[in-house]
Amino acid sequence: MIYSSIQETVSQALNKLYNIEASAESIVLQKTKKEFKGDYTVVVFPYVKQARKSPEMVANELGQYVKEALADVENFNVIKGFLNFEISDSYWTAYANTIATDDRIGLKDVDTTAAPTVIEYSSPNTNKPLHLGHIRNNLLGWSVSQLLTANGRNVKKVNLVNDRGIHICKSMLAWLRYGNGETPESSGMKGDHLVGKYYVEFDKHYKEEIKELQSKGMDEEQAKKEAPLMVEAQQMLKRWEEGDKEIRDLWERMNGWVYAGFDETYRKMGVCFDKIYYESNTYLLGKELVQKGLDLGVLYRKEDGSVWCDLTDAGLDQKLLLRKDGTSVYMTQDLGTALLRHNDFGADQLIYVVGNEQDYHFQVLKIILGRLGYGWADKVYHLSYGMVELPNGKMKSREGTVVDADDLIEQMEKTAEEMCGERGKNDDMTAEELQQLYHILALGALKYFILKVDPSKTMLFNPEESIDFNGNTGPFIQYTHARIRSIVRKAIGEKGLDISATASVTTINDKEREVIKQLHDITSVVEQAALAYSPAMIANYTYDLAKSFNSFYQDTPILRESNPARMLFLVRLCNAVSLAIKNMMNILGIEVPERM
């Protein structure tokens, strides 16, 4: 690539002209600002002191050296200490011809022999259906997996289902108390929705019991602990850990309802996993690690029987690992799962896609794994992301004030249908094709709206904004792709062009150059996004590419071009853009339609 050639040549020039040792990688090459002429800029200020010359003189001498050394550098100009290189049209047209039919543009081949990167995402509780917060988690986890794969990493996608604990006992107990034998079949509800209904039901009756105890003079904290429903739920958890058959049978039955519901929602979202772990299988290994920690003296047992880790020397506090009744906590099973997962895959890295409210949890997990003697503890990485909020505030599962994932997808599909109807351009599509289009647009809008936001930021979700066909949205990019595919189809079908043939064109205009330059950046964008674990960088790159294409398209009568060689070049450039959009949107888990 031309920028690496410029870096290497500037490095040589610094050494030859001024005896300055600077590696090619250390030469910072920036895109030239739009108000100046040029393609790439080197800031020479860091070298003027050693060169003992003015910034302008250093820039001119370096520019002259590079121009003479590299045929693709057509010219240069100097603005104070900024050296701007102008790249020849022949370089850009040659590059455009190289990528015109490359369906792997922007993607690297995966090294399947390398130790895998294991990414955990989703990690739902089996006491409620997936909601908008889970959607961000799943879409982010899937997209980061795709992003690392696009960068050549060997990735394994895993899910840890939190299928045991006090939360599921609450739903089970409420179903026993108030369910009257209701099932997904008898109610017509998805299984995860039905179990979630009883989680809310538990909370409603639990709060009533707390109020009643408070009315008798008990303080709130004590009332929360001694409310009969909570006491019974804790007893149920203990019976579950002791293997009580009646409790285990009910647990398996209700979890089965939930898994069927989850699978349907995952299918709608277009996400999947290479392996699913269950907390009910991993917490026992976690307990073994707790015992190992006690034996090593890195954990300690209090008088009431509970087990803790003292982290005060690390600037933290004391962390509970086993309750006084012997039941485990989240940290217990996460220790077991980490070890199991590392051993299962021989993982190079363990990435956890979990909300930022768990930052402390993963900080503690790494420390405890390290103290237990696992040298790979430093390979644990928490991909922390911000919460999703609504215009009316935060969601609360216990109170049932959540945006259900299934309902949201259904509503997005209806909105897509309405907007397509308003555009009135789908008369040539069958009813089945239209339904598929509405689904693709709905999921594209949802995924893009969520993934275009930097993962670390809390985001405000507005469904109406997400599905607009204009602006920085998924449907805008999807429509751009469909428009390009229409151009290519017409060029082949009506004009008889063979787009596999190289176009002999050596000059381009500014808008064509801008599109080619953006395509030229695609590999480095994928690399940078992978390093940052940021699908947002891919989303915003793709939007900028779509914008540049549309600007070029508005000014260019592609299929009315009188010069056959130039028409072929323009169509091949269109084809390259469509391939780039398809690959980048695929990293985001978004389909792009061939027509709209």
pLDDT tens column, 303-318: 999 999 999 999 999 9
247 and 139 share a domain?
A: yes
At residue 425, the pLDDT reads 59
pLDDT category of residue 392 using cuts at 50, 70 and 90: low
Q: pLDDT tens across 478-514, in order?
A: 999 999 999 999 999 999 999 999 999 989 999 999 9
Mean pLDDT of the chain: 94
At residue 424, the pLDDT reads 64
Among the candidates 61, 87, 113, a domain finishes at: 87
Domain membership of residue 228 (yes or no) is: yes
Rounded CA-CA distance 499/361 in Å is: 54
Domain membership of residue 97 (yes or no) is: no
Asked if the model's pLDDT at residue 394 lies above 70, the reply is: no
Asked if the model's pLDDT at residue 398 lies above 50, the reply is: no
At residue 319, the pLDDT reads 95
Which residues are CB-neighbours of 118 under 8 A, at least 6 positions away?
155, 156, 158, 341, 345, 347, 349, 350, 351
Which residues are CB-neighbours of 85 under 8 A, at least 6 positions away?
6, 32, 38, 39, 40, 41, 42, 63, 66, 73, 75, 76
- pLDDT, average across residues 367-373: 97
For tokens 């980048």, what's the residue? Answer: 584
372 and 411 share a domain?
A: no
525 and 441 share a domain?
A: yes
Domain membership of residue 256 (yes or no) is: yes
- pLDDT, average across residues 523-552: 97
- pLDDT, average across residues 29-50: 95
128 and 251 share a domain?
A: yes
Backbone angles phi and psi of 111, in degrees to 5: -85, 95
Q: Structural domain of residue 9, as residue ranges?
A: 2-87
156 and 183 share a domain?
A: yes
Percent of the chain with pLDDT over 70: 97
For residue 44, the domain's CATH number is: 3.30.1360.70
For tokens 């690392």, what's the residue? Answer: 148
For residue 467, the domain's CATH number is: 1.10.730.10
At residue 401, the pLDDT reads 53
Number of C-beta neighbours around residue 532 at 10 A: 14
Asked if the model's pLDDT at residue 397 lies above 70, the reply is: no
- pLDDT, average across residues 25-30: 94
> What HEC string does 330-362 produce?
HHHHHHHHHHHHHHHHCCCEEEEEEEHHHHHHH
Rounded CA-CA distance 62/64 in Å is: 5
3-state secondary structure of 478: helix
Which of 584, 578, 593, 590 is closest to 488 using CA atoms? 578
Which of 86, 32, 29, 78 is closest to 57 using CA atoms? 78
3-state secondary structure of 131: strand
Burial grade of 144 (CB within 10 A; 0-12, 13-18, 19 or more): buried
pTM of the model as a whole: 0.92
Which residues are CB-neighbours of 167 under 8 A, at least 6 positions away?
125, 127, 199
Which of 347, 324, 264, 278 is closest to 123 using CA atoms? 278
Which of 64, 71, 58 is closest to 20 using CA atoms? 58
Mean pLDDT is lowest, of 82-91, 273-282, 397-406, 508-517, for 397-406
Q: pLDDT tens across 419-447, in order?
A: 887 766 566 788 888 899 999 999 999 99
Which of 466, 434, 474 is closest to 132 using CA atoms? 466
Rounded CA-CA distance 124/163 in Å is: 8
Structure tokens at 81: 């200490």
For residue 356, the domain's CATH number is: 3.40.50.620
Domain membership of residue 230 (yes or no) is: yes
Angle at 52 between CA 49 and CA 57, to 5 degrees: 105
Rounded CA-CA distance 127/431 in Å is: 37
420 and 493 share a domain?
A: yes
Asked if the model's pLDDT at residue 379 lies above 70, the reply is: yes
Asked if the model's pLDDT at residue 364 lies above 80, the reply is: yes
Q: pLDDT tens across 240-268, in order?
A: 989 999 999 999 999 999 999 999 999 99
Q: What H or E segment, with its residue span, contains residue 261?
A: helix 245-269
At residue 85, the pLDDT reads 98
At residue 95, the pLDDT reads 97
550 and 581 share a domain?
A: yes
Domain membership of residue 243 (yes or no) is: yes
185 and 289 share a domain?
A: yes
Backbone angles phi and psi of 401, in degrees to 5: -100, 65
pLDDT category of residue 470 using cuts at 50, 70 and 90: confident
For tokens 């709130």, what's the residue? Answer: 220
At residue 532, the pLDDT reads 97
User: Tell me, what DSSP letter sits at residue 188?
Assistant: -
